[in-house]
Amino acid sequence: MTNQHISNRDMNVLWHPCTQMKDHESFPIIPIARGDGVYLEDFEKNRYIDGISSWWVNLFGHANAYINGKVKEQLDTLEHVILAGFTHEGIVRLSERLVALAPEGLTRCFYADNGSSAVEVALKMSYHAHRNKGDNRALFVSLSNSYHGETLGALSIGDVALYKETYEPLLIRSIQTPSPINQSLEAAKAAIIHFELLLRERSDEIAALIVEPLVQGAGGMVMYHPHFLTEAKRLCEEYAIHFIADEIMVGFGRTGTMFACEQADITPDFLILSKGLTGGYLPLSVVMTTESIYGEFYCDYDPHRSFLHSHSYTGNALACAAANATLDLFEKNKVIEANQKLSRAINEGLKRFESRKEVKETRQCGMIGVIELQGFNASQRIGVKIHRHCLSLGVLIRPLGSVIYVMPPYVITPEELGLIFDAIESALNELTL
Ligand SMILES: Cc1ncc(COP(=O)(O)O)c(C=O)c1O
């Protein structure tokens, strides 16, 4: 079977996510035959280093032998069971482990099956918890430039015009407060002043603040100081609004700690996890919350007070097996410590780009490295050109406009990271002359 054979069939029947399908008339889609660690291999044996962890999900490589084994074991026992009225050992064990790992006080796990759905859960729970206290608050605050997913609720509280604008008439109410403009303490302090002013004026309408802790992903890998989170959480407590930490992208070690909130020493009211939760294997997400929020819903049967939200695949047993295997690997291999070496290699790689004229800045947070370009307009589609150039050199990266970023699986070697930076350098040499 050739690449072309599969891609021709694909073009007849598929509609790909976040894609203008017509682009594939001139640039064929790449069919992947197998995965192997940090490599993806197509049907003609071309190999690509997965520099973006397949949309930020993969932690321990593709076709990881240990995770494979655990999923296969589970497959012979139980593939899935309805999670209302029933449970299974894998999800109980996973929940116990998440409670032990997460910031102290997050004692309850509510599952869904993808990031956006979990965001919907957190928004509904927050609104409903206030409502159960007799408080009607239907407004959410998020940071400017934030991204929380594509379903209507999640889209409503995001702030990336590219994804949101078209659907504006369909959305629920949200307002934005300025996000810190860079990683400095001063920028965090300046953003807090704005947030406090907003709370002084409108806190009694607001259910929650939702943030992407430390790194705003789809908004262009914008990074900020943990001080913002510490202070924002303090203000949320002062004004009695919930703090929702969307760690869908940054959870599980991406920022250098298991959870980004640890760097701000805070316990959010809701912690949302997905992506790396299953090591990038299967769709699963969880909203962790406190005993106090849980208590707002705990009562003799009352349909208005109960949280009657569900998804068919909630708590899927195969996904839980992948998640438990992923946590085993964190325990066995001291991953957070080991990643410090890789993080230093990313830092070294970024240095090559600092003084290039087309580079606005480089920045880094743990296992995420960014090269932001300047001087290009959207119609030049520089990111797409860099993506294609790097693919021709066996490297998968997928810039966000003119923001090039590297977010590899944790099993990459410093040498393989070097190959990614070589490809980016080659792309810039070729495309920015
Ligand atoms: C911070 C954040 N929240 C939510 C989502 C949505 O998750 P999903 O794509 O699984 O719906 C994403 C996806 O990239 C994300 O980065």
pLDDT digits (tens, 9 = 90+) for 296-331: 999 999 999 999 999 999 999 999 999 999 999 999
Closest-lying ligand 1 atom to the alpha carbon of residue 114: 10
Q: Is the pLDDT of residue 221 over 70?
A: yes
* Ligand 1 contact, 98 CB (< 6 A): no
Instruction: Give the pTM.
Output: 0.98
* Ligand 1 contact, 250 CB (< 6 A): no
State the average pLDDT over residues 179-195. Answer: 98
> What is the pLDDT confidence band of residue 68, given thresholds at 50, 70 and 90?
very high
- Two structure tokens written together for 218: 């789809």
Confirm if 168 and 174 have CB atoms less than 8 A apart.
Answer: no
**pLDDT tens-digit map of 4-51:** 999 999 999 999 999 999 999 999 999 999 999 999 999 999 999 999
Closest CA to 358 of 387, 340, 383: 383
**pLDDT tens-digit map of 323-368:** 999 999 999 999 999 999 999 999 999 999 999 999 999 999 999 9
Say how many Å lie between the CA of residue 430 and the centre of ligand 1: 33
DSSP symbol at 264 = G
pLDDT at 432: 74
Mutate which of 249, 282, 405 for ligand 1 pocket (most atoms within 8 A of beta carbon):
249
Confirm if 319 and 393 have CB atoms less than 8 A apart.
Answer: no
Say how many Å lie between the CA of residue 26 and the centre of ligand 1: 29
Mutate which of 114, 116, 117, 155 for ligand 1 pocket (most atoms within 8 A of beta carbon):
116
Confirm if 248 and 94 have CB atoms less than 8 A apart.
Answer: no
For residues 260 and 253, give the distance between their C-alpha atoms in angstroms, rounded to a whole number: 8
Minimum CA distance residue for ligand 1 atom 13: 149
Mutate which of 18, 275, 400 for ligand 1 pocket (most atoms within 8 A of beta carbon):
275
Beta strands in 23-168 (DSSP E): 32-36, 39-42, 47-50, 106-112, 139-143
Say how many Å lie between the CA of residue 286 and the centre of ligand 1: 12
Torsions phi, psi for 300 (to 5 deg): -60, 155
pLDDT at 433: 58
Q: Where are the alpha helices (DSSP H) in 393-413?
A: none
pLDDT at 53: 98
Q: Where are the alpha helices (DSSP H) in 150-309?
A: 152-157, 161-164, 185-202, 226-238, 291-297
Minimum CA distance residue for ligand 1 atom 6: 149
Strands 395-396 and 206-211, sheet pairing:
unpaired
pLDDT at 251: 98
> What is the pLDDT confidence band of residue 208, given thresholds at 50, 70 and 90?
very high
- Two structure tokens written together for 357: 């004229």
Which long-range contacts link 248-251 to residues 24+ away (Cβ below 8 Å)? 248/115, 248/118, 248/119, 248/148, 248/149, 248/212, 248/272, 248/273, 248/274, 248/275, 248/285, 249/56, 249/212, 249/215, 249/217, 249/275, 250/212, 250/213, 250/214, 250/215, 250/217, 251/275, 251/276, 251/277
pLDDT at 332: 95
For residues 122 and 211, give the distance between their C-alpha atoms in angstroms, rounded to a whole number: 12
The burial of 71, by beta-carbon neighbours within 10 Å (0-12 exposed, 13-18 middle, 19 or more buried), is given as: buried
**pLDDT tens-digit map of 90-128:** 999 999 999 999 999 999 999 999 999 999 999 999 999
Mutate which of 140, 160, 222, 248 for ligand 1 pocket (most atoms within 8 A of beta carbon):
248
Residue 272, Cβ neighbours under 10 Å: how many?
A: 27
Residue 167, Cβ neighbours under 10 Å: how many?
A: 12
The burial of 173, by beta-carbon neighbours within 10 Å (0-12 exposed, 13-18 middle, 19 or more buried), is given as: exposed
Say how many Å lie between the CA of residue 344 and the centre of ligand 1: 27
Say what percent of the chain tops pLDDT 70: 100
Beta bridge partners of 143: 177
* Ligand 1 contact, 115 CB (< 6 A): yes
Mutate which of 53, 120, 148 for ligand 1 pocket (most atoms within 8 A of beta carbon):
148
* Ligand 1 contact, 217 CB (< 6 A): yes
Minimum CA distance residue for ligand 1 atom 9: 115
State the average pLDDT over residues 208-224. Answer: 98
Across the beta sheet with 106-112, what order do the strands follow? 106-112, 285-290, 270-273, 242-246, 206-211, 139-143, 174-177
> What is the pLDDT confidence band of residue 398, given thresholds at 50, 70 and 90?
very high
pLDDT at 198: 98
For residues 133 and 306, give the distance between their C-alpha atoms in angstroms, rounded to a whole number: 13
For residues 98 and 101, give the distance between their C-alpha atoms in angstroms, rounded to a whole number: 5
* Ligand 1 contact, 218 CB (< 6 A): yes
* Ligand 1 contact, 277 CB (< 6 A): no
Q: Is the pLDDT of residue 1 over 90?
A: no
For residues 122 and 124, give the distance between their C-alpha atoms in angstroms, rounded to a whole number: 6
* Ligand 1 contact, 153 CB (< 6 A): no
DSSP symbol at 270 = E
Average pLDDT of the chain? 97
Residues in CB range of 153: below 8 A, 6 or more apart: 119, 120, 123, 124, 172
